[in-house]
Amino acid sequence: MFESINPATGQVIARTPAMSADVLTAALEEAGTTAMAWARVDVSLRASMLEDVAALLEAKREEFARLITQEVGKPLVEARAELDKCALLCRYYADHAVAFLEGESSEALPKGCQVSYSPLGVVLGIMPWNFPFWQVFRFAVPVLAAGNTALLKHAPNVCGCALAIESLFQEAGYPEGVLRTLFLEIDQVESVIQHDAVRGVALTGSEKAGAAVAAIAGRAIKKTVLELGGSDPYLICEDADLELAAAKCVQSRLNNCGQTCISAKRLLVHQAVLEPFTEKLIAEIAKRQQGNPEDELNNLGPMARADLRANLQRQVDASVAAGARVLLGGEVPEGAGYYYPPSVLADVRPGMPAFDEEVFGPVVALVAVENDDQAVELANQSVYGLGAGVFTQDVERGKRLANQLECGACFINDFVKSDLRLPFGGIKRSGYGRELSKWGIREFVNVKTICVG
């Protein structure tokens, strides 16, 4: 039995049973049959249907925003922004899917030969709770536009969002089974991946989950795309606009109460500007008001689950025991709900959880550096490689540093964000494969060579 718990109160708001073995078997068999029919639908129709999805998202924006807020504790303004981005994604692929999937022939290919992009079949998406609509749409929209069907195994604390998404696509006119939600226990996932109908798996989640899914899929020789954790470093150079850097780092770190893979987690600050930057950072944090996320006056909500907050406190306590200093926050407050205050740790260094691990919550780690070389060395001293940032008024210096950082995306004088038009993903233990743009829609297709003799 899966429980949806309101993080602001700790109260259970819904319970959803896991699928029985018989129901799951029937769903998988139906998925294979549906995939064959959906693949024959012309790509232009598949693309145009996304306009209807976008329109429904906009019509149900307030209803879905409150659902997101109640299940994960996200402030309403952030929940609305998440839904708006989903609608933009639908319209982006409605406009570009046909061109992205068009067969290619050019002078670079042998005469009479072309490359086509055809559907693989059923793709399983294992999605996280932190962006319960966006993560699913980022997976499902290009998968469906490419002619595949999608099975959704969502996080167990957002069953309401999962059902709402499935219903939304059906209301938009998609055939039943093109996007199907599976309520699975962990021990049921392996059999789904191994099922003959499933041709690929996309997972956004933890490093542990990604490794397990990759191993299962590897044994079955099935394609995977993994977007895993991150410990994103942001380099604050001595010539940076400190007001801008502090504002952008706080905006990144406190988005979704710090529960995002691409937030600014480790701030590597040149010693020469460490003190003034820290002052500006704390001043920016003070502008945030934490409280009930359904109250429009609050722009910082609770964490999503009690266990996540407990693990965050463990990381803070262990880092302090190893020599870090708490400049702000750092303790679980009294009262109902899973709130955790925005916190700042100074004197963070390798060997501490605040440096070595992914810290999934509103905790900023300050790391002092003497020069660019040391900053790059410490930035890359991580098992993760998702995003990174560089703040400097010398753009060429910023580009040079960006090219030295081991990550899938680096933003200069801004915080890392996903853009519909750009590939998104990481390296090292942050995963592999890319989502969004033409790179994302071509991950789960058969790149087929066709030649005429």
Catalytic residue chosen out of the listed positions 71, 227, 406, 435: 227
Q: Is 227 a catalytic residue?
A: yes
Of 88, 255, 281, 69, give the one whose Cα is nearest residue 161.
69
Return the domain boundaries, the chain: 2-228+430-451, 233-412
* Residue range 2-228+430-451 in CATH 3.40.605.10: yes
Catalytic residue chosen out of the listed positions 159, 161, 249, 261: 261
- Give the rounded distance of the alpha carbon of 291 from its chain centre: 24
Poorest-pLDDT segment among 18-27, 33-42, 103-112: 103-112
Does the structure show a pLDDT above 90 at 448? yes
Q: pLDDT tens digits for 121-161? A: 999 999 999 999 999 999 999 999 999 999 999 999 999 99
pLDDT at 217: 98
Of 428, 294, 298, 281, give the one whose Cα is nearest residue 343.
281
Residue pair 453/250 in contact by the 8 Å Cβ criterion: no
Torsion angle of alpha carbons 380, 385, 388, 390, nearest 10°?
A: 30
CATH C-level class of 233-412: alpha beta
The partner residues of 390 in beta bridges, in order of sequence, read 235, 412
Distance separating alpha carbons of residues 273 and 278, to the nearest angstrom = 8
What average pLDDT does range 170-177 have in this prediction? 96
Helix residue ranges per DSSP H, 172-266: 186-194, 207-219, 242-254
pTM for the structure as a whole: 0.96
pLDDT at 171: 98
Q: pLDDT tens digits for 374-413? A: 999 999 999 999 999 999 999 999 999 999 999 999 999 9
